[in-house]
C-alpha cells in the first residue's frame, strides 16, 4: 500500500527551484572535502515524531491527519512500518531511530509486549533487506507507562528497576538483530520532582548499576554498537539527572563508565540547560565523547522542549563545524528528533519539515567546511594563543613551571598587553561565509 | 585632530571583499524599491556606547583603548565631539543619538551643568553645519547620578521630580536647537525594587503628569520632533514600568497620552521581556505606534541587556520586514544602541562592529524587500484568512453577526475543516530567500 | 454512591494537629477583621484538575487512581458530578469552577453537545439546591478540540469563530442558569505560533468583536456576573495575546471594553510572564480591574505552567495583602487552578493538596491582615512619599507645576538628599510578622 | 576611631522584640542538638560587599554613604580594616572573607601590590589577636583589572597566567599567615564570550595545570586549609567553565584534582544555573564535596546575580537541612556573599541586612534540626525505598542481579503497584514545621 500518494521521491533541484517538494541545497552525492554529503550528514528519521505522534499537547487533542489514523493495535503498528519505509525512500534518508513502543504496542503482559516487538522487528528486518535505510539507534521507552511514574532505573520501586532491565535487555537484543549502530539512553523520568521525598544518592547509584548491567549484557551478546547517553536538564521531571554533557561526564567518571558511553546531544536540550548547541558539542568533543546528534531546534524564549525541525543556519553551521572538527560522528548521525508543529498536520508537512531540516544541515555542512578549509577561525585562534608556543607559555604547557618560577617571571613584567578578541569582526566573517559560500555554490 | 588615524573612510566593496574595513553589503546609494538604502535604513551611532563607555562591567574595570583616555572634564567632552564627527564621516552614518551626560559632564550645580551642555551643544551645532550627520534623538540621563536612586519622575522625592523636569526641559531646548527628529524617554529607574516600599499608583500617576508637562513644553517652544517611549522590562530596576510595548500602550491610553508618543523599540529589551524583536515591532505597527528602533541584539541565554551589535540575519530581516510594512520609520531610524564587547577594546573594533551591524541590516533590508515584492508571506496569509472575505466571515468583520446568527450558522456545520499552518515550509522559504536574494545580488 | 470512602469531612484541628486530613490553620468561622475567614477567602475547586484530569503529561500516560476510572461518556460525567459535590462538602468549599467539556462530553454534533451539557447542568443545579457550594465561574473550552488548532475567536477560519460564538452563548446560558458569579475568558489558543503566517491585527480585531458580542448577549439574557480575562503569556501558543494584565488592559482600552471586564489573575501565569504574582495583582488593583484569582503556584526554574497547589507562604501573604487592600475580591474568589503532581495519584492526595492550599491562604490572610492592621508597610510608605503632601510635591500632584516652575525650583536646590529604601529591614519584618502572627494565633 | 557610631552591639532580644537592631531568632549561645548555634552556623562577613562595594551598578554611580568615603588609597584600606573589626564585633560574627584587592589597593607594580597587601595583612593580623573573628577564606581577585579581560589561568596570554600564579601564590601565603580555614577559587573570567575565538580544551587544560600548581605550593608551605571551587554558570562571561557543582566535579575528576577540592556553593549561582540552592548542596553532599556556602539569595525572575541577603525561610531551612545531613560544614561556613540594595545606602542598612540574614539562617537551622530529629522526611523516604532492602531490590543493591535474573523476575510480575509520592502532603508538613517549630520556641 502507498501512504504518501501525492508525494514523489524528493530530489535535489538546486537553490533556485520553486518546487516546495525538492531539496534546494541537500545534494546527497555532492562531494564535500572528499566525502559524499550523505555520508557526512548521516540523516535519520525519528520514528516517534513522524509516525507515532499525533499532534496532541497538554492543552489539545490529536490533530495529525494520517492515512493510518483508522487503524489500531498491531494493524496500526504494521501500517506505520510500511509508511515509514516509504517515507525513508522518498526522502532518501540513510537512517532511522525508534523507541520500542513507537514500533510495537505494549501487550497486557511483558511476554506479550515481547511478542509484539518480535513481530514488528521481524517485519522491519525484512524491509531493511531491500532498503538502504539502516537503524541508527533504538531505545526503550521507560517513561510513558504509569509504572515509570517515579522513574525506571532510578525508581524507588525495585520491581520497576527489574522491569526496566527486562526492557533494555530486549532493546539490546533488537539492536543486535537489526544491526543498530548505537543504543541510546535518554533519562526519561530518571530525575526527581522534589528533594523532599528523594534519595538522590541511592537513585544515582542504582542508575550506575543499571548501566553496568547493560554494558555486561551487550558484551555477552556481542552487540558492538556505541552506547549513548542523551542529556536533558528538565522535563518531564523537574530535575533530570543527566542535566547536560558535563553532568553526564561527572556521573560516568564517578562510576567508571566513561569508556563505554558517549553522548547523544540534542540542540533543544542544550538550550533548556542554558547552553548553546555548539557548547554542548564542544564539551563532548574535547572530552572525546561526541557520539551522535539529535538534530532539532528549540525556541530560547520558550521554556519547554519544542523539538522543532532545525532551520536556523547559524545553529546548523556551528554544529557541523564541531562535527567536522571531531572528524565526523563515527557511528553516530543526525537524527531529526523533531516534530511538525501541531498546526502543520498534513502528511505533506512531514516532507516540508524534513526537507527544511536536511537543506539547513547541508548548508551548515558546506559553510562549516569552507570555514575550516580557509582556517578562518583556526588562524585567528592559533595567533591568539601563540604565547603558549614559546617561552613561559611553553613552560606552562609542558609542566615545567611552578608558582615560584611564574612569580619570578611576573615580577619582571611591566603592564601586560592583551589583544582584542575581535568578536564583532568574527561574527561579520561568519555572515560573509554563510552568504558567500552558498552564493558561490549556486553559481557552480 | 585625527583620532582614528589608521582608519580610512569605509567604502562599499561588495560581498567578495576580503577587506575587513569595508562594507560588503551596505551600499548607501543602492536603490531598493525606489529608495536609496541609506534613506531606508537611517542608521544612527549611539554616542554613549561608542564615545563614552569604557568597557567596565560589574566585575571589571575599564578596558577600552581610546585616543582620548588621557583627557578629563570638558577637554574630554570636546575631544569626543571631534572624534564623533570623524567617525560619523568615516562610517558615513546619517544620524547620531545622545544623552545629555554623554556629551557634557555634570557640573557641581544644575546651572553649571547647563553651561557645560550649552558649550558642547554649540560645538556640535557647528560641526553639524558641515556634516551630513543629523541628530536622530537626544534624551536626558536620569539614572546614573545617585539622586535618581529611587527613580526620576517616579521618585518618592519631589525634589528629584523637579530636578528631572529641569533636565528634560533643557533636553527639549537642545533638541529644538539641534533639530532633533525625536526625543526619547527610556525609563531608567522608573520602576521598583520591591513592592514592600512602593506606591505604584502614585508613581505612575506622577510619570503621566511628567509626560504631560513635557508635551506642553514641547508645544510651547515649537519642538516638532516625535516623542518616543523606549520599553524595557527590567534592569536596572527589578521591574521597569515600561515593560514592553503593550504595557506602554496601556499606560499611554489610560493617561490620554497616546497621540503624543510612539515607541522606540530595542531588540534586546524585547527578548528580555520574553518577546521576539519582530513581535514588539508588530505590536507597535498594528497600533500605529512604531516610531524608531534601537538596533542591537541580545543573547537569549543571558538574562541581562548585552547590547550586542546586530549580526543575526533572521532578526535584521524580520525587523526590516515590519519596518517596510510600516512604510518605513518616518522620523525614526536604526540607532545602534550596541557596544563592542569588553574584550574588543581597540578603536578598530568600533568600526568592525558598526560595519557588521550596517551590513547585517542592509542584508535584512534586501531580503525583506524581496519577500514583500514576491508577496511570499502576504499571499499565504491572504489565502489563510480568506474565510473572512465572504459569507459568515464577512458578516463577522462587518459587525453584522451576533451570537444568535453565529449559533444558527454553527448548528449547520459538520466537522470543521482547517488548513495546515505550514510553518516548516515558511521557514524553509525564509532560508531560501535569505540565501538566494543575496546570491542574486552578488552576481549583479 | 460514596467516592471518597476513607475520607471524612475535613475539620479545623489547629496548628498542632498531627492529623494529615485536618485543617491546621484554615478555620472557616474564625473572624478576621470583622469577617469570617470563609467569606474573605472564597475558595473554589477547579473541576478540570480535580475531576477530569488524569495525570497524563507530554511524556506519560494517565496515572490518577480514581473511583470513576472504569466509566465512560455520560456515565462518567455523572459520576464526576456526584464525586464533586461529595468533595465540596468534605472540604467545605463555597465555590467551584468548570469548563463546559470538564462536566459534559462533546457530542458528535454541536446539538448533541448542547444536550449533554443540559443534562449535566440540570444535575448540577439539583445538587446546588442542597449544597452550600456555588458556581464561582464557568467557561468554554476552546482549545482542546482540533478545530481550535489555529485559535477560536482569533482563528483564521470564520467557521471556528462562529462555532466558538455558539459555545460561549451556551456558556453564558449555563452561567445564568447556575447563578455563576463570573464568566471567564482564558485565551486558550488565542495567540500565534509564528508571525510568518499570522495577521495579528485581524485576529485581535476579531477577538474584540467577539467580546462585544458576548457583552451584548449577557445583557440580553440578564446575566449579571462579572466578565473576566485571564492573562497568560505563552503555552499552548508561543505567544498568547493576553500576555499579562497590562497587555490585557491595553487591549480592553483600545477596543472600549474596559468597563465590562476585570482580570482573573493566576500566580503561575504571572511568573511565566516574568512578573511576581503580587505584581499582577497590584497592576490590576490600581487600575480597578482585580476580579478574581487562580490560586496556584509555579516553579520559577521551570518554563511551563506547573499549576501546583499554593504552599509558598510569602506568595499567599503578599497575594492576600493585595486582595485585602482591594477591599476583597467582590464576586471573585480563590480558585485552585492547581493539580496534584502526576506522582500524587491517590484520591487522598486531592485532599492533602487542597488542605495545603487552604491552610496556606488562611495563613496568608492572617499575616496580611496583621500587616495592614499594624500599618507596617503603610506607615513606611506614607513617610517615604511625604514630599508630595506639601510644597513643590503638592503642587506637582495637584497639577499646579510645569517645567518652568519646576526648573526654577530645581535651580535653587543644593545636593538632593534621599532616604534609604530599607528593603532588607522590610524583608526582615515580613519574616517576623509571618512567624509571630501565627505564633500568637497558636497560643490563643 | 568608631565608624558605626549610632549602632550598639546587636543582641538577641527574642521574636517579639520591636527593636530593629536586635536579633529576633539568632541566639549564638542557644544549644541546638548539642551544639551552640554560633558553632553550627559559622557566619562570615564578605569584605567586598560590606566594606569595598559602593552601590554602583551598570546604570548608576556610587550611592553608599560610608564614613570612609572621603579617604583614598592605603588610608582608605586601613580605615576599612578598622571599620570591619568594629562591625564584626558589633554583629558578633565568627568569620570574614576577602579578595586581595578588597583589603589592599593594587600598586603600580606587582611588587608594590605585595607591599600593600603585606601592610594590611599585618594590620589585620594584629586585630585578629584580640578579636574572636577568624578568616574563613581569602582569595585573589583575578577579574577586575583589565589584564584579565580574557581570563586569568584560562587567558590566551601566558603572561596573564604567570601573573595570576603570582597572585595566588601570595594569596596562599596570606592564607597561611592569617590562619584561613579555606582558600577559594571563583572562576571570575575563566570562561568564554564566544566559541569563535576560543580554544576551550587548552584553556581548561591550563586551568587544571594552575590548580595542580596551587596544590603543590600549598603543600610546600604547609597550608592546611581546604581548597574550594565556587561554581557559577555565567556572568561576567557568557559561559563560565565552573557552571555548577556537577560541571566542577567532571573537571576535577578528569584532571585528578577531586581529592584536593570541595565546593563553595552560592545560592544565587545555583539558581542562575537552573538549579535550586538545595539541589547544588545535595549534589555536593552525596559526592563528599560540600565545603562551604555563600549564603545569599537571588531573584529567579532576574537573570543576573543579585546577591541579596538571604531572607527566604524555605531556602535557609532546606539549606540547613542539607548542611546538617552533611554533619555540618567542617572548615566551611556561611559567608554572606550578599550586598545591601543600591537604595539601602545607610550604614544602618548593613546591620539590618546582616541581622535579616542571620535570623533567617537561625530559623532555618532550628526548623531543619526539628525536621531531622522527628525524621519527618527520613521516615517517609525509608518507607518509600524499602523495596531495596529485601528480595530483588536487595539483590540489585548488592550487585547480585543482572539482566537475566531481572528479566526472569519481571516476567513473573503482574501490574506493578507504585505508591504516591505525596509531594503536596510533604509541602504542607514543611509549612507546619516552619511555623510550629518557631512558635514553640517562642513560648519557651
Helix residue ranges, H only, A179-266: 200-221, 245-254
Determine the average pLDDT of the residues in A170-186: 98
The three-class DSSP label of residue D105 is coil
- Close Cβ partners of B403 (under 8 Å, ≥ 6 residues apart): C165, C166, C168, C169, C213, C214, C216, C217
Write the CA distances from B228 to A298, B261, B290, C327, integer angstroms. Answer: 34, 5, 9, 37
Q: Which of D316, D349, D374 is the last residue of a domain?
A: D374
Q: Which of C321, C341, C374 is the last residue of a domain?
A: C374
- Among residues D88, D79, D186, the alpha carbon closest in space to that of D123 is found at D79
**pLDDT at residue B439, rounded to an integer:** 87
Q: Which of A355, A374, A393 is the last residue of a domain?
A: A374
Beta bridge partner(s), residue D227: D183, D261
Q: Are residues D363 and D390 in the same domain?
A: no
**pLDDT at residue D1, rounded to an integer:** 85
User: Which cell goes with B45?
Assistant: 551611532
Test the C interface: residue of D233, D351, D420, D433 with most C CBs within 10 Å? D420
What's the total number of domains in chain C? 2
Instruction: Note which residues in 423-442 of chain A have CB less than 8 A from chain B.
Output: 423-425, 427-428, 430-432, 434-436, 438-439, 442
**pLDDT at residue B429, rounded to an integer:** 98
The count of C-alpha atoms lying within 13 angstroms of the C-alpha of D329, restricted to the half-sphere facing its C-beta, is 31
CB B116 within 8 A of CB B104: yes
C288–chain B Cβ distance below 8 A for any pair? no
CB D381 within 8 A of CB A197: yes
C6 lies in some domain: no
Q: Are residues D275 and D132 in the same domain?
A: yes
The backbone torsions φ and ψ at residue B95, rounded to the nearest 5 degrees and listed phi first, read -145, 160
pLDDT above 70 (res D442): no
CATH number at residue A128: 3.20.20.150
pLDDT above 70 (res B443): no
Nearest CB to C149 within list A63, A149, A303:
A63
- Among residues B251, B414, B229, the alpha carbon closest in space to that of B332 is found at B229
pLDDT above 90 (res B440): no
Q: Measured between alpha carbons, how far is C217 from C164 in angstroms, rounded to an integer?
A: 14
DSSP-derived secondary structure for D140-175: ---SSSGGGTT-STT-S-HHHHHHHHHHHHHHHHHH
**pLDDT at residue A419, rounded to an integer:** 98
Q: Are residues C65 and C160 in the same domain?
A: yes
A57–chain C Cβ distance below 8 A for any pair? yes
Q: Measured between alpha carbons, how far is A212 from D262 in angstroms, rounded to an integer?
A: 28
Contact B422 A349 (CB under 8 A): yes
**C210 Cα distance to chain centroid:** 22
CB B260 within 8 A of CB B215: yes
Q: Are residues B149 and B293 in the same domain?
A: yes
DSSP code of residue C350: H
Considering only alpha carbons, which residue of chain B is nearest residue D56? B58
Chain A closest-CA separation from residue C162 CA (Å): 20
B311–chain D Cβ distance below 8 A for any pair? no
Q: Measured between alpha carbons, how far is A160 from D387 in angstroms, rounded to an integer?
A: 10
A49, A92, A99, A100: which is the annotated catalytic residue?
Answer: A99
Q: Integer distance in angstroms from the first to the last C-alpha of chain A? A: 40
B280 lies in some domain: yes
Q: Are residues B115 and B145 in the same domain?
A: yes
Contact D60 B193 (CB under 8 A): no
Q: Are residues D62 and D180 in the same domain?
A: yes
Catalytic site includes residue C102? yes
**pLDDT at residue D285, rounded to an integer:** 98
pLDDT band at A443 (very low <50, low <70, confident <90, very high): low
**The overall pTM is greater than 0.80:** yes
Catalytic site includes residue A212? no
- Close Cβ partners of A440 (under 8 Å, ≥ 6 residues apart): none
Angle formed at CA B26 by CA B22 and CA B29, multiple of 5 degrees: 110
Q: State the helix-helix crossing angle for B158-178 and B110-130, rounded to 10 degrees.
A: 20
Q: Measured between alpha carbons, how far is D180 from D158 in angstroms, rounded to an integer?
A: 29
B279 lies in some domain: yes
**pLDDT at residue B333, rounded to an integer:** 98
pLDDT tens string B277-300: 999 999 999 999 999 999 999 999
**pLDDT at residue B305, rounded to an integer:** 97
Write the CA distances from B416 to A102, B277, C163, D110, integer angstroms. Answer: 30, 34, 9, 78
pLDDT tens string B65-77: 999 999 999 999 9
- Among residues C276, D279, C290, the alpha carbon closest in space to that of A193 is found at D279
Count Cβ neighbours within 10 Å for each residue of D260-296 and write b for 16 or more, e otherwise.
Answer: bbbbbbbbbbbbbbbbbbbbbbbbbbbbebbbbbbbb
pLDDT above 90 (res D443): no
pLDDT tens string C7-24: 999 999 999 999 999 999
Nearest CB to D234 within list B55, B57, B302:
B302
**pLDDT at residue D440, rounded to an integer:** 84
The backbone torsions φ and ψ at residue B207, rounded to the nearest 5 degrees and listed phi first, read -60, -40
Determine the average pLDDT of the residues in A328-353: 98
Q: Are residues D264 and D370 in the same domain?
A: yes
pLDDT band at A280 (very low <50, low <70, confident <90, very high): very high
Q: Measured between alpha carbons, how far is A310 from A53 in angstroms, rounded to an integer?
A: 18
Give the rounded percent of residues in chain A with a pLDDT score beyond 90. Answer: 98
Q: Are residues B243 and B122 in the same domain?
A: yes
Query: In A, which residues are within 8 Å of B428 by CB distance?
Result: 20, 24, 311, 352, 355-356, 359
How buried is C8 (Cβ within 10 angstroms: 0-12 exposed, 13-18 middle, 19+ buried)?
exposed
pLDDT above 70 (res B442): no
Q: Are residues B285 and B431 in the same domain?
A: no
* Residues constituting chain D: 444
Nearest CB to B162 within list C200, C406, C426:
C406
pLDDT tens string B202-247: 999 999 999 999 999 999 999 999 999 999 999 999 999 999 999 9
D402 lies in some domain: yes
- Close Cβ partners of A400 (under 8 Å, ≥ 6 residues apart): none
B183 lies in some domain: yes
The backbone torsions φ and ψ at residue B3, rounded to the nearest 5 degrees and listed phi first, read -100, -35
pLDDT band at A17 (very low <50, low <70, confident <90, very high): very high
Q: Are residues C262 and C140 in the same domain?
A: yes
C79 lies in some domain: yes
pLDDT tens string C29-54: 999 999 999 999 999 999 999 999 99
Q: Are residues D289 and D359 in the same domain?
A: yes
Q: Which domain holds residue B339?
A: 26-374
Give the rounded percent of residues in chain D with a pLDDT score beyond 90. Answer: 98
D6 lies in some domain: no
pLDDT band at C1 (very low <50, low <70, confident <90, very high): confident
B8 lies in some domain: no
Is the dihedral angle over the CA atoms C177, C183, C189, C191 positive or is it negative? Answer: positive
Considering only alpha carbons, which residue of chain B is nearest residue C382? B199
pLDDT tens string B388-412: 999 999 999 999 999 999 999 999 9
**pLDDT at residue A439, rounded to an integer:** 87
C157–chain B Cβ distance below 8 A for any pair? yes
CB B50 within 8 A of CB B88: no
DSSP-derived secondary structure for B146-160: GGGTT-STT-S-HHH
Neighbors of chain D with 3 or more C-beta pairs under 8 Å:
A, B, C
Q: Are residues A389 and A281 in the same domain?
A: no
pLDDT tens string D315-343: 999 999 999 999 999 999 999 999 999 99
Query: In A, which residues are within 8 Å of C189 by CB distance?
Result: 59-60
Amino acid at each position: 500500500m502507498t501512504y504518501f500518494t501525492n508525494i514523489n521521491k524528493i530530489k535535489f533541484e538546486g537553490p533556485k527551484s520553486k518546487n516546495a517538494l525538492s531539496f534546494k541545497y541537500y545534494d546527497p552525492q555532492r562531494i564535500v572535502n572528499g566525502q559524499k554529503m550523505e555520508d557526512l550528514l548521516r540523516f535519520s528519521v525519528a520514528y516517534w515524531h513522524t509516525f507515532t505522534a499525533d499532534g496532541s499537547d497538554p492543552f489539545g487533542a490529536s490533530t495529525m491527519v494520517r492515512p493510518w489514523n483508522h487503524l489500531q493495535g498491531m494493524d496500526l503498528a504494521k501500517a506505520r512500518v510500511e509508511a515509514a519505509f516509504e517515507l525513508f525512500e522518498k526522502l532518501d534518508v540513510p537512517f532511522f531511530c525508534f523507541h520500542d513502543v513507537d514500533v510495537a504496542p505494549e501487550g497486557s503482559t511483558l511476554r506479550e509486549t515481547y511478542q509484539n516487538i518480535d513481530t514488528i522487528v521481524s517485519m522491519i528486518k525484512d524491509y531493511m533487506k531491500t532498503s538502504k535505510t539502516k537503524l541508527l539507534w533504538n531505545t526503550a521507552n521507560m517513561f510513558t507507562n504509569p509504572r515509570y511514574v517515579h522513574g525506571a532505573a532510578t525508581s524507588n520501586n525495585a520491581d520497576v528497576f527489574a522491569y526496566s532491565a527486562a526492557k533494555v535487555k530486549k532493546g539490546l537484543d533488537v539492536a543486535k538483530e537489526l544491526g543498530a549502530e548505537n543504543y541510546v539512553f535518554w533519562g526519561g523520568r530518571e530525575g526527581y520532582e522534589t528533594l523532599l521525598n528523594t534519595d538522590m544518592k541511592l537513585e544515582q547509584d542504582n542508575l550506575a548499576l543499571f548501566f553496568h548491567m547493560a554494558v555486561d549484557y551487550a558484551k555477552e551478546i556481542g552487540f558492538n554498537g556505541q552506547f549513548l547517553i542523551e542529556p536533558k536538564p528538565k522535563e518531564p521531571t523537574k530535575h533530570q539527572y543527566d542535566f547536560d554533557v558535563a553532568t553526564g561526564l561527572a556521573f560516568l567518571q564517578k562510576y567508571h563508565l566513561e569508556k563505554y558511553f558517549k553522548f547523544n546531544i540534542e540542540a533543544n536540550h542544550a538550550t533548556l540547560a542554558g547552553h548553546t548547541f555548539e557548547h554542548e558539542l564542544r564539551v563532548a568533543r574535547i572530552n572525546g565523547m561526541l557520539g551522535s546528534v539529535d538534530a532539532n531546534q528549540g525556541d530560547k524564549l520558550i521554556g519547554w522542549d519544542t523539538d522543532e525541525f532545525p532551520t536556523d543556519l547559524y545553529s546548523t553551521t556551528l554544529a557541523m563545524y564541531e562535527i567536522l572538527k571531531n572528524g565526523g560522528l563515527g557511528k553516530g548521525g543526525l537524527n531529526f528528533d523533531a516534530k511538525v508543529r501541531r498546526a502543520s498536520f498534513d502528511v505533506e508537512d512531514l516532507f516540508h519539515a524534513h526537507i527544511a531540516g536536511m537543506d539547513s544541515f547541508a548548508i551548515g555542512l558546506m559553510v562549516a567546511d569552507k570555514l575550516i578549509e580557509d582556517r578562518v577561525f583556526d588562524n585567528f585562534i592559533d595567533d591568539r594563543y601563540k604565547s603558549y608556543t614559546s617561552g613561559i607559555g611553553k613552560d606552562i604547557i609542558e609542566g615545567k613551571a611552578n608558582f615560584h618560577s611564574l612569580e619570578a617571571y611576573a615580577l619582571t613584567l611591566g603592564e601586560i598587553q592583551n589583544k582584542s578578541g575581535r568578536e564583532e569582526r568574527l561574527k561579520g566573517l561568519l555572515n560573509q561565509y554563510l552568504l558567500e559560500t552558498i552564493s558561490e555554490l549556486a553559481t557552480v
